[in-house]
């Protein structure tokens, strides 16, 4: 997988003959797993139609600042916030000058002003315009503001001139865009996380489950993503929104989670099993709702579910495998037993007998049980704990 996988790229297209290369650029970005939305300036539409870029990107192309329809769904602020990276390709001399002045008189300039995402430009213009001191001063000013410039290349130009000013080829731009995401302690790594409870059907309306909310696993997914990893989150049913920019696989039962986990192993450097998986399931889930009988008792036969994290740790080409241990007594010693029995690299142990931490709480307190030693992390929010855990796990994976 590429570092562009699951990344959201807002592509700005300004007026220039190189606008035709934007069509190819969209395809190449998508090939790397990125989602692409497009803003076109009026001048860009003289060179290539919005319909072409809409068909290629699979999303409506945004063209006007005050389009009431666009404002309802995805206005300039929403677009600016949506982007992980704003790439303007081609960026004309006029657009660059307007950016320097901080103008906000069209959709693209306002998105550039509003976005918290990194902004990159792929200039394309006649060699004389490129070499002009005004353009060079403008680019210097933008560089000082942290705006990155990709290219241009040198060569023969559409106007017949030869020199600098050609837009870089789409493949080169994709490579440079991908490089913007290659930072962070888990850059280039792929992390698979299980989260939440599983549901084991008794009949079509009843199931066996537990109190896991998914908060711990979702926080880990976001922390790993923010550390630069490509994240697959395999989740049982929860009430939480899907974390952005993670591959999300929804499952119900332990068997489904088992299958999804094995499927995800083809691209996995670290597997974190934070899900509360049901150890047993009803031997035969009834096809119809079970009716009350005259009996005061009812016997439910249960069979063992596959142990997901054990299977992952035993797989060929095993990833660095992290288990959790939910215990109510002798927390650390039971966790160490799981570390050895399940052949894990590390176990995160938490006490689930307490109401203020563990299941369904916003906070947690854990002991990290390594083969050689242990480290206790005092109570803190699951968001903060996840970040602290990811730092430690990343160090272990990177030195593995
Ligand atoms: O979801 P929250 O409300 O935020 O709560 C977080 C949590 C308490 C669920 C979490 O911190 C936690 O402890 N998760 C593991 C829960 C659990 O099932 O622990 P266990 O000790 O029963 O299992 C040990 C390990 O084996 C776990 O990594 C578990 O995911 C894994 N397992 C268990 C059974 C099974 N069939 N397959 C597994 O992979």
- How confident is the model over 384-398, as pLDDT tens digits? 899 999 999 999 998
The minimum-distance atom of ligand 1 relative to the CA of 216 is 4
Q: What is the pLDDT of residue 157?
A: 78
DSSP calls for 180-228: TT--STTTT-EEEEEESB--EEEETTEEE-----SHHHHHHHHHHHHTT
Q: Whose CA is nearest to atom 16 of ligand 1?
A: 276
Q: How many CA atoms lie within 13 A of 372 on its CB side?
A: 1
More reliable by pLDDT, 182 or 342: 342
For residue 40, is pLDDT > 70?
yes
The minimum-distance atom of ligand 1 relative to the CA of 219 is 4
Q: How far is the CA of 108 from the centre of ligand 1 (A)?
A: 47
Report the candidate in 38, 28, 41, 33 with the shortest Cα–Cα distance to residue 87. Answer: 38
Task: Compute the average pLDDT of residues 333-351.
Answer: 98
For residue 226, is pLDDT > 60?
yes
Q: Which domains does the chain possess? A: 8-178 (3.40.50.1950), 190-399 (3.40.50.10300)
Q: How far is the CA of 275 from the centre of ligand 1 (A)?
A: 5
Average pLDDT of the chain, as a whole number: 93
The minimum-distance atom of ligand 1 relative to the CA of 312 is 39
For residue 188, is pLDDT > 90?
no
For residue 342, is pLDDT > 90?
yes
**Hey, which of 209, 273, 335, 348 would you mutate to test ligand 1's pocket, going by the most ligand atoms within 8 Å of its Cβ?**
273
Q: How far is the CA of 353 from the centre of ligand 1 (A)?
A: 14
The minimum-distance atom of ligand 1 relative to the CA of 194 is 30
Q: How far is the CA of 399 from the centre of ligand 1 (A)?
A: 26
CB 200 within 8 A of CB 208: yes
Straight-line distance from the first to the last Cα atom of the chain, in angstroms, rounded to the nearest whole number? 20
**Hey, which of 271, 322, 324 would you mutate to test ligand 1's pocket, going by the most ligand atoms within 8 Å of its Cβ?**
324
Q: What is the dihedral of CA 166, 172, 178, 180, to 10 degrees?
A: -40
Helix (H, G, I), strand (E, B) or coil at 89: strand
Task: Compute the average pLDDT of residues 113-125.
Answer: 93
Residues taking part in catalysis? 159
Q: How far is the CA of 367 from the centre of ligand 1 (A)?
A: 14
Q: How far is the CA of 205 from the centre of ligand 1 (A)?
A: 24
- How confident is the model over 343-362, as pLDDT tens digits? 999 999 999 999 899 999 99
Q: What is the pLDDT of residue 159?
A: 79
The minimum-distance atom of ligand 1 relative to the CA of 279 is 36
Q: Whose CA is nearest to atom 33 of ligand 1?
A: 277
Task: Compute the average pLDDT of residues 140-168.
Answer: 87
Which amino acids bring their CB within 6 angstroms of ligand 1? 194, 196, 212-217, 254, 273-277, 279, 305, 307-309, 323-326, 338, 350, 352, 358-360
Q: How confident is the model at residue 69 (pLDDT cuts 50, 70, 90)?
A: low
**Hey, which of 243, 323, 333 would you mutate to test ligand 1's pocket, going by the most ligand atoms within 8 Å of its Cβ?**
323
Q: What is the token pair recorded at 322? A: 């992290």
């Amino acid at each position: 997988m590429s570092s562009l996988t699951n990344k959201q790229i807002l592509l700005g297209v300004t007026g220039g003959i190189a606008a035709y290369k934007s069509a190819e650029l969209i395809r190449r970005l998508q090939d790397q797993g990125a989602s692409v939305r497009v803003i076109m300036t009026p001048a860009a539409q003289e060179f290539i139609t919005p319909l072409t870029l809409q068909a290629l990107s699979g999303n409506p192309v945004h063209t006007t600042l005050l389009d009431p329809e666009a404002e309802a769904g995805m206005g300039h602020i929403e677009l600016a916030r949506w982007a992980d990276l704003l790439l303007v390709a081609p960026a004309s001399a006029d657009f660059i000058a307007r950016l320097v002045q901080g103008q906000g008189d069209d959709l693209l300039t306002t998105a550039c002003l509003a976005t918290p995402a990194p902004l990159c430009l792929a200039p394309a213009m006649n060699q004389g315009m490129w070499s002009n001191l005004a353009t060079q001063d403008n680019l210097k000013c933008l560089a000082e503001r942290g705006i990155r410039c990709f290219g241009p290349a040198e060569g023969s130009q559409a106007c017949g001139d030869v020199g600098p000013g050609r837009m870089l080829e789409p493949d080169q731009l994709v490579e440079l865009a991908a490089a913007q995401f290659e930072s962070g302690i888990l850059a280039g790594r792929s992390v698979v996380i299980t989260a939440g409870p599983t549901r084991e059907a008794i009949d079509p309306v009843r199931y066996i489950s537990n109190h896991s909310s998914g908060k711990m696993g979702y926080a880990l997914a976001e922390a790993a993503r923010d550390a630069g990893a490509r994240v697959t989150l395999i989740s049982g049913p929860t009430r939480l929104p899907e974390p952005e920019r993670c591959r999300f696989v929804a499952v119900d039962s332990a068997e489904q989670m088992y299958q999804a986990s094995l499927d995800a192993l083809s691209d996995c450097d670290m597997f974190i099993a934070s899900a509360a998986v049901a150890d047993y399931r009803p031997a035969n889930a009834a096809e119809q709702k079970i009716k009350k009988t005259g009996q005061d008792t009812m016997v439910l036969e249960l069979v063992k579910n596959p142990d997901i994290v054990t299977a992952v740790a035993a797989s060929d080409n095993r990833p660095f495998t992290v288990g959790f241990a939910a215990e109510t007594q002798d927390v650390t010693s039971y966790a160490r037993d799981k570390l050895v029995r399940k052949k894990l690299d590390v176990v995160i142990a938490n006490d689930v007998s307490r109401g203020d931490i563990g299941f369904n709480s916003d906070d947690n307190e854990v002991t990290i049980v390594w083969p050689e030693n242990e480290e206790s992390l005092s109570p803190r929010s699951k968001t903060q704990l996840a970040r602290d855990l990811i730092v430690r796990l990343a160090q272990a994976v990177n030195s593995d």
